[in-house]
């Protein structure tokens, strides 16, 4: 039985009030650990430690010294790869080969990628003419934002947490991280790595707990937090945004999505099927960038649907360590109840269930796990709730369309605007349609192909702000202008 304590000022500490909750493995619902729940006392201590480190040892390091430390952190994660892999798979139930390919290596890479990118980006400089003819020099100068609250999600726990912590620390900030209550393990383990690599106490802090009336609310409402970065559902983002308004704290939010894929008849069918399979079903559909609405040009509709059903039938659920398994459980039984409610609603709204739609028989040993069938629907009206609301499960609806104008309107007919995928071999059409997508990220003939130097974020109710590459400078630093009279 593991015990997950808070990591504050370089030390692991329990909750003062002794409050804990269970951490369960979604594969079989077994208890794998006890997590300490943070209250105001723990959040106050973490924020105070972060503030002291900001003003003290961390703030006095040079940029080169910070980069060296963060590179050590990345290397140490990779040296302890198997430990991080085991922790991530116990928390999420995802196949080991997926976590070994994506979660852990990219989680480590975030420290190196952002420290190097942000350290070498220039600021602006302007020469100003003045009436006395001597002029003035204006120089842009960036300073850390301060103490940053990082509220991280459960679907890609290490990767999405370090996606925020990496650039925050590279810019000289200190952080207090509130990981999801569902996935405390890798964030907790990262504290050990920070100590091993010589990162000063208080730079990286972790407080566990829930949202309302718990660590999440206490952290985002804290008066000494200078900025908040959040990934999660839009409803929670709205609550955090209200909290951030008090004190005018800056926010960066990547929220929900109801992402479309547009498949034109001139696409490469096998590429489109392979890409859409990934975008709809990888990580059991628990990806904010995932596809839940698929629009297929009518001449290709039947062939595309047939191939998708064939590929879904090949998905093999199983334990993370099963080398043949490529499909894990949902994160929890609670989340499965939510997804199953949409499976039921789809049928009530008139969907044809092409494949899936229920709970698979996983045998006696795994019957208590959060397993669910990958599902494809057709036949739903465009106003159906299943078409308009984010489900965050392994499911998609496939609908035919007849014209480019029609499908652009359908794809954009959502309150969300996170991502879109376009499948066509016509380059002019690809650019033309991509430019009209109301989304922060658009992929053409690919999905989730990420260059960390590019902007990442959503439009409409899918988020506020952009991170990634130099765009993170706008959130993680304050840009001041220094005017020097000559």
- By annotation, the residues acting in catalysis are 254
Side-chain-facing half-sphere of 247: CA atoms under 13 Å = 16
Indicate the DSSP class of residue 103: I
Q: Is the dihedral of CA 154, 182, 152, 453 positive or negative?
A: negative
Tokens of 399: 């609908």
Nearest 10 degrees: Cα torsion 220, 222, 228, 233: 0
Helix (H, G, I), strand (E, B) or coil at 220: helix
CA angle 425, 430, 434 (to 5 degrees): 155
Report helix angle 157-170 to 81-92, nearest 10. 130
Element (H, E) at 436: helix 427-436
Q: Which two tokens stand for residue 391?
A: 């489900």
Angstrom distance (rounded) from CA 286 to CA 98: 13
Nearest by Cα to 42 from 72, 86, 69, 8: 8
Q: How far apart are CA 431 and CA 424, in angstroms?
A: 10
Asked if 440 and 457 count as a contact pair (C-beta separation under 8 A), the reply is yes
- 101 contacts: CB under 8 Å, gap ≥ 6: none
| Distance separating alpha carbons of residues 85 and 411, to the nearest angstrom | 37
Instruction: Identify the H or E element spanning 141.
Output: strand 136-144
Per-residue CA distances from 438 to 33, 104, 146, 257, 458 (Å)? 42, 31, 33, 12, 9
Number of Cα atoms under 13 Å in the Cβ half of residue 81: 15
Q: Which contiguous run of DSSP H or E holds residue 422?
A: strand 419-423
Distance of CA 459 to the CA centre of its chain: 15
Q: How far apart are CA 73 and CA 71, in angstroms?
A: 5
DSSP structure class, residue 336: H
């Amino acid at each position: 039985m593991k015990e997950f304590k808070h990591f504050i000022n370089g030390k692991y500490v329990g909750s003062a009030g002794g409050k804990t909750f269970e951490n369960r493995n979604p594969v079989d619902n077994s208890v794998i650990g006890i997590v300490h729940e943070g209250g105001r006392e723990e959040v106050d201590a973490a924020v105070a430690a972060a503030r002291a480190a900001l003003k003290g040892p961390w703030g006095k390091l040079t940029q080169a010294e910070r980069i060296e430390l963060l590179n050590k952190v990345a290397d140490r994660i990779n040296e302890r790869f198997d430990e991080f892999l085991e922790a991530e798979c116990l928390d999420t139930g995802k196949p080991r080969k997926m976590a070994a390919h994506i979660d852990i290596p990219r989680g480590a890479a975030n420290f190196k990628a952002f420290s190097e990118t942000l350290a070498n980006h220039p600021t602006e400089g302007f020469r100003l003419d003045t009436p006395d003819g001597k002029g003035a020099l204006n120089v842009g100068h960036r300073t850390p934002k301060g103490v940053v609250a990082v509220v991280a999600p459960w679907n890609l726990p290490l990767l999405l947490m370090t996606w925020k912590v990496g650039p925050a620390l590279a810019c000289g900030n200190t952080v207090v991280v509130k990981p999801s209550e569902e996935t405390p393990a890798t964030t907790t383990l990262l504290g050990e790595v920070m100590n091993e690599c010589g990162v000063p106490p208080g730079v990286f802090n972790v407080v566990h707990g829930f949202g309302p009336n718990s660590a999440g609310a206490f952290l985002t409402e804290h008066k000494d937090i200078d900025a908040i970065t959040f990934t999660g559902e839009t409803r929670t983002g709205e609550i955090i945004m209200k909290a951030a308004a008090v004190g005018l704290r800056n926010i960066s939010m990547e929220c929900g999505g109801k992402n479309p894929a547009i498949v034109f008849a001139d696409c490469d069918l096998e590429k489109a099927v392979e890409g859409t399979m990934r975008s709809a079903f990888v990580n059991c559909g628990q990806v904010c960038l995932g596809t839940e609405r698929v629009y297929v040009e009518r001449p290709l509709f039947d062939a595309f649907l047939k191939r998708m059903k064939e590929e879904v039938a090949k998905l093999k659920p199983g334990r993370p360590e099963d080398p043949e398994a490529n499909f894990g459980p949902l994160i929890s039984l609670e989340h499965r109840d939510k997804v199953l409610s949409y499976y039921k609603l789809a049928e009530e709204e008139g969907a044809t269930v092409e494949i899936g739609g229920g709970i698979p028989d996983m045998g006696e040993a795994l019957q208590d796990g959060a397993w669910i069938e990958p599902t494809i629907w057709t036949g739903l009206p465009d106003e159906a709730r299943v078409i308009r609301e984010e489900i965050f499960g392994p499911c998609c609806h496939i609908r035919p369309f007849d014209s480019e104008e029609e499908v652009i309107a359908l794809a954009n007919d959502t309150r969300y605007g996170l991502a879109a995928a376009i499948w066509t071999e016509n380059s002019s059409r690809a650019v033309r349609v991509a430019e009209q997508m109301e989304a922060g990220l658009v992929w053409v003939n690919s999905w989730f192909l990420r260059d960390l130097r590019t902007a990442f974020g959503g439009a409409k109710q899918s988020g506020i702000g952009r991170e990634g590459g130099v765009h993170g400078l706008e959130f993680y630093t304050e840009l001041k202008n220094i005017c020097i009279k000559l």
